Amino acid sequence: MLPLLLFLVFGITNFGLALNSASDQTQVASMIARYATVNENPGKELGKSLQQWGKEQAEKSVLSEGPLKAKPEVCISFPDGAAIAKPVKVEFKTQKNLLPFADKLNLTWVKVTIAQTVVMRLEAPPSEFGSGCV
C-alpha cells in the first residue's frame, strides 16, 4: 500500500510543479511579447537574443534539471509579417515528466508538453530581434 501512496503523492506534487511552471511560462512569454512589440531587446548588451534573454528570466522551476527535466524552447514569429499593427507571436514550450525517475523507468506516458502562447500587436517594426526558436 505504501508504494502506491508514495507514487500518488509524488504524482500530485509534480503535477502541482508543472502547473506552477505553466504559470511562470505565461508570465515570461508575456514579458517577451511586450518587449517585442516595442522593439526592445534587454539582452542585446550581453550579446543575447530576445529568446535567450527570455529563457533566462524563467524561474528555476521552469528550467529545472530535477525530476521534471524541462527542455525549454522560446519561439518568436510574425504570422502576418513584421509590420506595425501586425501580430507578434511568442511561444514558450517545455517537456516535463510528471513522475520522478520516469526516464529511468522508461515511462514515456508521463511526459507532457507545456506550451504557452502570447500574441500582441507590434508598435514598432522589429530591428532589435529576429524571429526563430532558441
Per-residue pLDDT of the chain (134 residues; tens, 9 = 90+): 998 998 888 878 878 888 888 888 999 999 999 999 999 999 999 999 999 999 888 866 565 555 445 678 999 999 999 999 999 999 999 887 776 667 677 777 777 888 999 999 999 999 999 999 99
User: What domain range includes position 78?
Assistant: 2-133
What is the pTM assigned to this prediction?
Answer: 0.83
Number of domains in the chain: 1
Q: CA-to-CA distance for 43 and 74, rounded, in angstroms?
A: 14
For 17-78, the DSSP string reads: HHHHHHHHHHHHHHHHHHHHHTT--TTGGGT--HHHHHHHHS-TTTS--STT----EEEEE-
